[in-house]
A and B are shown apart, each in its own frame.
Chain A
């Protein structure tokens, strides 16, 4: 029973990681930049989710608003942070990104207070028995549905639309893509929008699971998401998704079995370092 329970917890956590990691992978694939400020977008999603739900009473409206708002803010992060630094060494963009992330944590604190916000009446709390003896709240189930739905949607777009094919070509070789008529800028904005919107959705779901959104909510998941995209082979979307799931499950077992040696958050990095020692290019090579 414990085994099944840990697996389920792992899958839910993995689904959240996957939603966050997608945007990081896309940005890395297109720009070769570690987009730390992505974490702030995740947190922003949480705030929008709580505020809109409390204001309007509709969680669905909140989720959609959050994805839209965060997607647009994400696009502007490309304009403001990265675009001017593209021909610098990626380290410069990394530090700039970290600067924005630190500053935005402070902005959240200044605007919304240090102790965070909660849902007045948290939606989707009904427990559903999914297996004999195992019940999950609707919110937890929604996390997995949302992740599977959104990610397969993107997968479909990437394979079946002109934009998607162009985007994949741009990841493989931006110069060739550009010279064969792909508008690289549009691809970048599109990827920032989708990746950020997904992170926003993850933020809403995490804020609902914890019934709390606080300024520092983005830090730990985003560091782990960095670990995930590296594990996945940097720029490989499939690798990142596999790594998300693997990490979710490993953490959920690790907390029980090695929790007395390592805290939950460093299990991810212990795993990361172990994998990189065996496969220095990550689990999958990009593609």
Chain B
């Protein structure tokens, strides 16, 4: 039973993490290759505070706040660059994050932070908390999507120059996406820290950033349900592959390639194709 709970909690955290990137990349069209840095900022903030005796659920707030604050700073910096320049700048952010953490004694340096307190509400409690967080964040992003903010995002993600000519204050909307997205990642990080109870710089690197981007893209950029499905599936994938543990990354890499090569619109595109096909029949 514990095993299933752990797997489910991991899935919930991955879904939250992917939904948060979906706001930045999916809704607003800003590619980020460094989103794991914000997972890390949330995880470290929450871990340090809860080790200092702050109740776990309370640490979620500063974890989100810290991630969003740094997200805002990165967002402001990102306003100056576009497209591939933006992609590589955000990639730089994740390398800077791990590079700085590695050299900080206070943050445990290379070794990381161990002995993060177990949640006093138990494993099931943590699963429930994670699910609640996912649900709350999900509802919030659905709300965004359907509001005028989402409407404006649609235009920005397609062509920001045109969006500007329609009277949209593009920088403000982008920063909003960065804040909401990085805060979500911070929350996922806080949950993650208490799920694994040991964190180090290697848990929040470039590969993790790519994995979450893959979840968003495999889900179909911008599609909330596709992203949830793909995040749940891709995060559970390593569990299915226990048997072939040695080939886990090989399969994962080929899967990424295959998904892009053969279904570049992601799960969302596949679902649409299937429903269209049904409609025709």
Taking the complex as a whole, does A directly touch B, i.e. does some CB pair lie under 8 Å apart? Answer: yes
Q: Please list the residues of chain A having a beta carbon within 8 angstroms of any beta carbon in chain B.
A: 28, 32, 34, 81, 84-85, 88, 90-96, 98-107, 110, 223, 226-227, 230, 234, 260-263, 265-270, 272-273, 276-277, 280-282
The CA-CA distance from A213 to B253 in the complex, in Å, is 21
B124 within 8 A of A: no
Among the stretches B10-18, B206-214, B232-240, the one at the interface with A is B206-214
Q: Which of A34, A98, A269, A273 contacts B84 (CB 8 A)?
A: A34
What is the CB-to-nearest-CB distance from B141 to chain A, in angstroms, rounded to a whole number?
20
Chain B CB within 10 A, most for which of A88, A110, A223: A223
Check A107–B250 contact: CB distance below 8 A: yes
Contacts of B264 in A (CB 8 A): 85, 88, 92
Q: Which of B99, B249, B250 contacts A265 (CB 8 A)?
A: B99
Check A266–B95 contact: CB distance below 8 A: yes
Contacts of A277 in B (CB 8 A): 77, 80
B144 within 8 A of A: no
Check A230–B85 contact: CB distance below 8 A: yes
Q: At the interface, is chain B mostly helix, strand, loop or mixed?
A: helix
Check A226–B250 contact: CB distance below 8 A: no
Check B217–A263 contact: CB distance below 8 A: no
Total interface residues in chain B, CB < 8 Å: 42
B136 within 8 A of A: no
B103 within 8 A of A: yes
Check A102–B96 contact: CB distance below 8 A: no
Check A95–B80 contact: CB distance below 8 A: no
Check B257–A103 contact: CB distance below 8 A: yes
Q: Please list the residues of chain B having a beta carbon within 8 angstroms of any beta carbon in chain A.
A: 31, 77, 80-82, 84-85, 87-89, 91-93, 95-96, 98-100, 102-103, 206-207, 210, 213-214, 217, 221, 246-247, 249-250, 252-261, 264
What is the CB-to-nearest-CB distance from B75 to chain A, in angstroms, rounded to a whole number?
13
The CA-CA distance from A260 to B91 in the complex, in Å, is 22
8 A-B pairs besides A96-B261, A106-B247, A276-B81 with CB distance below 8 A are: A81-B261, A90-B84, A95-B210, A96-B256, A269-B93, A273-B77, A273-B92, A276-B80
Contacts of A107 in B (CB 8 A): 250
Q: Which of B80, B93, B103, B246 contacts A261 (CB 8 A)?
A: B103
Some 28 contacts from A to B, beta carbons below 8 A apart, are: A34-B84, A91-B217, A92-B264, A93-B260, A95-B210, A95-B213, A96-B257, A98-B210, A102-B250, A102-B252, A103-B250, A103-B254, A105-B253, A106-B253, A230-B84, A230-B85, A230-B89, A260-B103, A261-B103, A263-B99, A263-B102, A268-B95, A270-B96, A270-B99, A272-B92, A273-B77, A273-B92, A276-B80
